[in-house]
Amino acid sequence: MYGWVGRLLRVNLTTGECRVEKLDPVMARDYIGARGLASKILYNEVDPQVDPLSPENKLIFMTGPLTGTSAISGSRYNVVTKSPLTGTIAASNSGGYFAGELKYAGYDGIIFEGKASEPVYLYIENDRVEIRPAGHVWGKTTHETEDILKSEAPAGAKVACIGPAGEKLVRFACVVNDKNRAAGRSGVGAVMGSKNLKAVVVRGTGGIKIADPEGFRQAVKAALEKIKNNPVTHGGLPDYGTAVLVNVINAHGAFPTRNFQTGVFPGAEKISGETLAATYLVRKKGCLACPIACGRATLVPEGPYAGHGEGPEYEAIWAMGADCGVDDLAAITKANYYANELGYDPITFGATLACAMELYEKGYLPAQDTELELEFGNARTLVEAARKVGYREGIGDLLAEGSYRLAERYGHPELSMSTKKQEYPAYDPRAIQGIGLNYATTNRGGCHVRGYTIASEVLGIPVQTDPLVTEGKAGLVKTFQDLTALVDSTGICLFVTFALGASDVVSMLAPATGIPYTEEAGMLAGERIFNLERLFNLAAGLTRADDTLAPRILQEPLPEGPAKGRVNRLDEMLDEYYRVRGWDEEGRPTEATKQRLGI
């Protein structure tokens, strides 16, 4: 095959059997790769009602046809499974260098089944595939694990692993590769931990065949020109990283603060990308084949939070900063190092801590239940909690369940700022209406990188829409969600969409694979993938009632800022969204829609 390797590795951890399978080319064509292809395999093979942490759940690592090629940002893989946080399908993706190496070894993806009786890791060196004992790295951080396992592999090997959080089944544990790149959300690392699978080590020396090398080269070149002429991808992101958004979103009054009690954070400037660049930034870092290089290598040289590593990103800065009322960038950076090294999602962690702080300040979470002082703004508590949650120590054991289960435990689930039990990221839906509809309808719960309408509603990409208006947002959300599903499935990074559209994506995808994807066919594939995820969730038991927002977002007006007095008017958008999606009133894809999409 071209683009795809054409081979999948199926690993049964219960029996120890490792088997190479042929990739179904028609399934690949229709579901493309990565998120889409892995979701299709999960949909085909796993009962949606399965307990996510049982051996019957599967864990799928999957690259896309552009992964490992010279396509702009072709660095990514997805980890797809049923989420222990949300009970929905989970698809989390990551960049770095691991995914390309997997393809160079001769595999588009790996399907993990069952559960090992002891901690193990998977070792791949081209055609050599071994399940090896991992007792010696069990309990180690992601950085320690990577260093140790690399010493047991040839030069050039790449490692994806879980940290203590994944081992301890923290519901928002992630899979970390290349030390600081993570398939971050929805707890895919906990599923890996539940299988006693510590890591995947891979070394590959093969190549990827391109169907039309000259056409592909021209397409990549044209796309690169667009990346270089765009102020976000060749300005904001390389210069300041994702945290370039802190001041922008705060100025919109959409920067959720103290568990969404307001949308304006007085300390924003102190934790902005610009401040990070002026203080702890060492250099920017890029993933395989990426000209943007939004990654931040950082160093906190001294003081109680001294350390070095990568990040924080915008979302981590917000969740562990503004949302917790913390404006100490060194503390946030240190907490972020814990997230990377212990292996969990800093968004859900920060938002859960923020929720705990509100529960604590309101007296719902009694002081005797926590060894930490949980008031908003306490930087020391943030850093301590960031360590404890990774090991489920003390209050960390409660935080490890996520904000919804925590708030429900204390009788106030309405204080969890989440949809489908996954916490919202750093955009208040009361100030930006469309993103609220996206939060309510994404297939892995509250999430921005499934339909980033911020691009349009705030940044004016590709066209400016009014963030305070609901009209037209149903179609906007659908378009962003479908485009994202397409991009996620190709193996390139969502961030290219600041500069590139679906036509640019297929302009690389078609010559790489030799399949004549048009823009329409690409968008249709994205829509197909999104609907397939939806069908998984419906079969898992979710209903229209799960397509909602936290009561605060729907009922409590923002108290200040440009969006003062606003709530999210989801009810003005949801029915129309169902209609444009071709779903019935209960949010189920109609037979006509399934036929149109070929599901």
| Footprint of its own copies (CB under 8 A) | 1-2, 25-26, 29-30, 211, 513-516, 518, 520-521, 524, 591-596, 598-599
Q: How far apart are CA 34 and CA 269, in angstroms?
A: 37
Nearest approach, Cβ of residue 62 and its own copies (Å):
18
Rounded CA gap, 524 and 520, in Å?
6
- Residue closer to its own copies by CB (options 24, 369) is 24
Is the Cβ of residue 161 or residue 510 nearer to its own copies in the bound state? 510
> Least separation, in Å, of the C-beta of 532 and its own copies?
12
Residue 418: name the closest of 440, 450, 446, 437 by CA: 446
Shortest spacing between CB 597 and its own copies, in angstroms: 8
Closest C-alpha to 560, from 164, 211, 217, 263: 263
The identity of residue 461, as a single letter, is I
Structure tokens at 599: 């599901």
The DSSP result for 262-331, as a single string, is BS--TTGGGGSHHHHHHTTEEEEE--TT-SS--EEEEEE-SSTT-EEEE---HHHHHHHTGGGT---HHH
In the complex, what is the shortest distance from the CB of residue 539 to its own copies, in angstroms, rounded to a whole number? 17
The nearer residue to its own copies, 501 or 514, going by C-beta atoms, is 514
Distance CA 136, CA 98 (A): 22
In the bound state with its own copies, the residue whose beta carbon lies nearer, of 171 and 528, is: 528
Nearest distance from C-beta of residue 6 to its own copies, angstroms: 9
Beta-bridged to residue 423, according to DSSP, are 418
Output phi, psi for 41, to 5 deg: -65, -45
- β-pairing, 120-125 with 197-203? parallel
211 or 224: CB nearest its own copies: 211
State which residue, 16 or 207, has the beta carbon closest to its own copies.
Answer: 207
Nearest approach, Cβ of residue 29 and its own copies (Å): 4
Residue 172 or 583 having the CB closest to its own copies: 583
Residue whose structure tokens are 């790769």: 33
Closest C-alpha to 60, from 89, 88, 84, 32: 89
How far apart are CB 598 and its own copies at their closest, in Å? 4
Minimum Å distance from CB 521 to its own copies? 7
Nearer to its own copies, 2 or 104 (CB): 2
Q: Quick one: CA dihedral 507, 508, 510, 514, positive or negative? A: positive
